[in-house]
């Protein structure tokens, strides 16, 4: 399973219909949160996700609408007698700020909380999954996240049999990338097909950024903020946010398969105005709604 659940889609403040920023990522039994705005744990319960299963939380930046929900979650997990560590990732320089949020009421916690500061680059690897941070353009230090499944190599039996590859040689070839068989060097690519890993990218709050285009290249899914419509493009620039059209431009330049708009201003009671503007630039786009669930299908194998 590689499934994305959009927990909150509103920017800055919640509405009756939309909660604050949060995205849940499920992969092979692991559960990650990307941002954790106020009310995130209740949104998880509404949409069938157990907060107790959270392995790690990745915060884009330390504005309240993206982080205040962490305080409630850590207390609920203690109430449920969690013992496994909870990892929380924040932009570099903000660990103390997060710890003050967690410690304000001297709650008795039953499990370790490990807060790590993020810089651009690989943040965490779990099993066959890699989480990478990249810099965004906002009013405070902000990072987007790439959640990428590593490529898988599948051995071609006929080629392996012909070359005499057997038993521990498969493991050695996978680890090293090549092995010697007699006088011949056999490379991994010669005897395998590659199943490209699936990739999702989360970018909010931000102006359109070259770093996002690079990070999202050929992604299966880009979740990008869309705070405003074109008529408020000046405001978007002043507040370092993006319009729907600008988000679509990022998706088009990155050649992503699908774009989902989120972090929409509360002034848009019907987000279709944002979706329609984005569609003029990038066709496969949808304005997110709270509880939207997206299954990322496996990519086809190729040589």
Question: Tens digit of pLDDT for each residue in 259-301?
Answer: 999 999 999 999 999 999 999 999 999 999 999 999 998 876 5
Q: Which of 138, 172, 192 is the last residue of a domain?
A: 192
- For 140-193, the pLDDT digits (tens) are 999 999 999 998 888 888 888 888 888 888 888 888 889 998 888 999 888 888
Q: Are 221 and 256 in contact (CB under 8 A)?
A: yes
- The verdict on 280 and 157 lying in the same domain is no
pLDDT value at position 300? Answer: 61
Taking each helix axis as running N to C, give the angle between helix 69-79 and helix 95-103, from 0 to 180 degrees, rounded to the nearest 10. Answer: 50
Q: Is the pTM of this model over 0.85?
A: yes
Q: Which of 136, 166, 192 is the last residue of a domain?
A: 192
Question: Can you list the pairs that 21-27 forms with residues at least 24 positions away whose Cβ atoms lie under 8 Å?
Answer: 21/60, 21/65, 21/66, 21/204, 21/262, 21/263, 22/69, 23/202, 23/223, 23/262, 24/49, 25/147, 25/200, 26/1, 26/2, 27/1, 27/2, 27/3, 27/126, 27/129, 27/147, 27/149
- Asked if residue 227 is part of any domain, the answer here is yes
Find all residues with CB under 8 Å of 300, minimum gap 6, and list them: 195
- The verdict on 188 and 228 lying in the same domain is no
**Which residues form the domain of 177?**
153-192
What percentage of the chain exceeds 90 in pLDDT?
A: 80
Number of domains in the chain: 2
- Asked if residue 302 is part of any domain, the answer here is no
Q: Rounded to 10 degrees, what is the CA torsion of 85, 75, 13, 63? A: -50
- Asked if residue 229 is part of any domain, the answer here is yes
303 pLDDT band, cuts 50/70/90, is: very low
Q: Are 3 and 23 in contact (CB under 8 A)?
A: no
C-alpha–C-alpha distance, residues 156 and 118, integer Å: 40
- The verdict on 184 and 235 lying in the same domain is no
Q: Which residues sit opposite 6 in a β-bridge?
A: 23
- Asked if residue 303 is part of any domain, the answer here is no
205 annotated active-site: no
- The verdict on 289 and 218 lying in the same domain is yes
Check 65, 205, 220, 290 and give the catalytic one.
Answer: 65
- The verdict on 206 and 226 lying in the same domain is yes
- The verdict on 108 and 159 lying in the same domain is no
Which CATH number is 54's domain given?
3.60.15.10
C-alpha–C-alpha distance, residues 102 and 150, integer Å: 33
- The verdict on 98 and 210 lying in the same domain is yes
- The verdict on 11 and 113 lying in the same domain is yes
Q: Which residues sit opposite 144 in a β-bridge?
A: 134
- The verdict on 167 and 251 lying in the same domain is no
- The verdict on 241 and 266 lying in the same domain is yes
- The verdict on 208 and 186 lying in the same domain is no
- The verdict on 185 and 278 lying in the same domain is no
Residue 302 sits at φ, ψ, to 5 deg, of: -145, 165
């Amino acid at each position: 399973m590689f499934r994305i659940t959009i927990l909150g889609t509103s920017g800055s403040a919640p509405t009756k219909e939309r909660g604050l920023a949060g995205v849940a990522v499920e992969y092979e039994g692991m559960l990650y949160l990307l941002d954790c705005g106020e009310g995130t744990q209740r949104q998880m319960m509404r949409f069938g996700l157990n907060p107790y299963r959270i392995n790690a939380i990745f915060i884009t930046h330390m504005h309240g609408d993206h982080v205040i929900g962490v305080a409630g979650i850590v207390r609920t997990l203690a109430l449920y007698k969690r013992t496994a560590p909870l990892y929380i990732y924040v932009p570099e320089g903000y660990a103390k700020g997060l710890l003050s949020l967690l410690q304000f009421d001297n709650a008795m916690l039953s499990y370790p909380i490990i807060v790590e500061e993020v810089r651009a680059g690989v943040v965490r690897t779990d099993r066959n999954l890699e989480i990478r941070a990249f810099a965004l353009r906002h009013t405070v230090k902000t990072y987007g996240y790439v959640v990428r499944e590593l490529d898988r190599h599948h051995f071609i039996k006929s080629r392996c049999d012909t070359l005499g590859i057997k038993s521990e040689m498969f493991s050695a070839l996978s680890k090293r990338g090549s092995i010697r068989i007699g006088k011949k060097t056999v490379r991994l690519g010669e005897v395998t097909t590659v199943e490209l890993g699936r990739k999702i990218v989360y970018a909010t709050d931000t102006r359109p950024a070259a770093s996002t285009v690079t990070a999202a290249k050929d992604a299966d899914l880009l979740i990008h903020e869309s705070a405003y419509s074109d008529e408020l493009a000046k405001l978007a620039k002043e507040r370092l946010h993006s319009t729907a059209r600008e988000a679509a431009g990022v998706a088009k330049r990155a050649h992503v398969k699908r774009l989902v708009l989120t972090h929409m201003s509360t002034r848009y009671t019907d987000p279709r105005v944002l979706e329609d503007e984005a569609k003029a630039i990038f066709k496969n786009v949808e304005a997110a709604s709270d509880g939207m669930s997206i299954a990322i299908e496996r990519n086809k194998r190729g040589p």
